[in-house]
Amino acid sequence: MQTIVVATQNIGKVVEIKKMLEDLNVEVKTMSEAGIDIDIDENGITFEENAIIKAEALKKYTNAIILADDSGLEIDYLNKEPGVYSARYLGKDTSYKIKNEMILDKLKNVPKEKRTARFICAMALAANDMRTVTTRGTIEGYIGYEARGTNGFGYDPIFFVDEYNTSTADMCADLKNEISHRGKALKQMKERLKEILEG
């Protein structure tokens, strides 16, 4: 069975990616499960650049296929912040409960039509003997007026999707994975992965 190492320390992402790859005949490992303990300097200015940086950084530590994701939230009212800085925004060690409250505060009294936002995810697939490939997925939504839901991670409690009239933290994992930025990027990447696995 082939192994795929997911180039992230973010458990929330790993849980989602593992679930979405369940139907493939592959063993999905986190970096720590693969015995890789490195800090990667994500100094790209686009999601794709950062995904490639993360995937390629692991190449010298493993012969497995590497899957990296770089994702974030763009809020139109905040000039598309936090964008590629989503993980570091408002302090690397600030809890998301506080970050989400601070964002809600910044958007206090802003009407719904100006609260538009999107999650973006770029995925990169790398392996020693192939050219790194990327895919991108997005989901459009808006910043709600209060946090809702306990599923997911990060900014999920304040990211609302009109069609479902609730936040991505208030959705079951299967629904979020079906409609999310990560789900869409991974769906495209799975096609590429299948080709590689079939050799």
Report, as residue numbers or ranges, the catalytic residues.
Answer: 70
Q: Which helix (H) or strand (E) holds 82?
A: strand 81-82
CB neighbourhood size of 172 (10 A): 9
Question: What span, in angstroms and rounded, lies between the C-alpha atoms of 164 and 166?
Answer: 5
Residues 141, 160 contacting (CB under 8 angstroms):
yes
144 or 152: CB nearest ligand IMP: 152
CB of 141 to ligand IMP, least distance (A): 11
Dump the DSSP string for 134-177.
EEEEEEEEEE-SS---SSS-TTGGGEEEGGGTEEGGGS-HHHHH
Smallest gap from Cβ 176 to ligand IMP, in A, equals: 7
Least gap, CB of 65 to ligand IMP (angstroms): 19
> 133 or 197: whose CB is closer to ligand IMP?
133
Judged by beta carbon, residue 109 or residue 150, the one nearer ligand IMP is 150
Which of 70, 170 has the CB closer to ligand IMP? Answer: 70
Binding residues (CB under 6 A) for ligand IMP: these are 8, 10, 42, 70-73, 86-87, 119, 152-156, 180, 182
Under DSSP, the state recorded for 6 is E
Name the one residue in this structure whose structure tokens are 């990169």: 124
